[in-house]
Structure 1
């Protein structure tokens, strides 16, 4: 396989293929399936970084989606080989961070979908925003892409 044209280097990836149950009345992958795939790759990435759902429960903290945005660029058809990549952006290092997604068709490298989640750390017991515990900072921020430099004079 040739190198895929990722938006950012070194994504955490998950190979996916639309199955008959994923196809909607318009004969392409239903939009809800993309959301499920993004959730799957996000949890797999988190686990690879050393934080599982059990860790979230033990720490009484979670990174909750505050806002999600998806750009559906091309349809994904039954049986197409796809690769979903994800990256973390550092956020504020206290409460917030971002997770980005890109879904590529392996046959030609075309981008099918781009997505972004704005995440906030919450206390599971209360649902209130709370600072990220040291375990989150260690796992997530150490894996995050470097922050983009601010241009001099930029507002």
Structure 2
């Protein structure tokens, strides 16, 4: 399946609170590469961090998911970069869970710079989308997400 990144801003406005989360990070020296901007692997780490924080906020952290018998593993990431993030920048990282059915879940992410002087909505740095596949934590085989997960994230069966 080839993923296409939908308009993260529309998604953010249209999804319920249980399907979205955001956090803010400040670019540190450890985030920079040899070109003195945020390394591409850091953007991906920020996306994973906001997804984990979202799950934890809803009581669906890794420990809880193992207890329910299914955990998500990344199948595919797509990142479109628009502008570099630099040392000291404030970056808002948003995620919206956009699809959750059977063994698949899809998250969209928007990363915006929120420095003084930037527009109120921020300056778009990157957009990402990740396809997650639910698996049995013991066998690693694909498995439908438990009903408790669907309910926690506001999806009905």
- TM-score after normalising by structure 2: 0.82
Report how many aligned residue pairs link the two structures: 138
Are 1:129 and 2:132 counterparts? no
Q: What corresponds to 1:103 in structure 2? A: 111
Q: Which runs of 5+ in 1 are unaligned?
A: 145-155
Could you tell me whether the CA contact under 8 Å between 1:88 and 1:143 is conserved in 2?
no
Q: Which runs of 5+ in 2 are unaligned?
A: 1-7
Query: Which segments of structure 1 move beyond 3 Å, counting only runs of 4 or more?
Result: none
Alignment match of 1:80 (pick from 80, 89, 99):
89
- The equivalences for 1:3-42 within 5 A come to 6-7=9-10, 8-9=12-13, 11-42=20-51
Could you tell me whether the CA contact under 8 Å between 1:66 and 1:119 is conserved in 2?
yes
Of structures 1 and 2, the larger Rg is shown by 1
Root mean square deviation of aligned Cα: 1.8
Cα distance in 2 for residues equivalent to 1:62 and 1:73: 32
| 1:116, distance to aligned residue in structure 2 (A) | 0.3
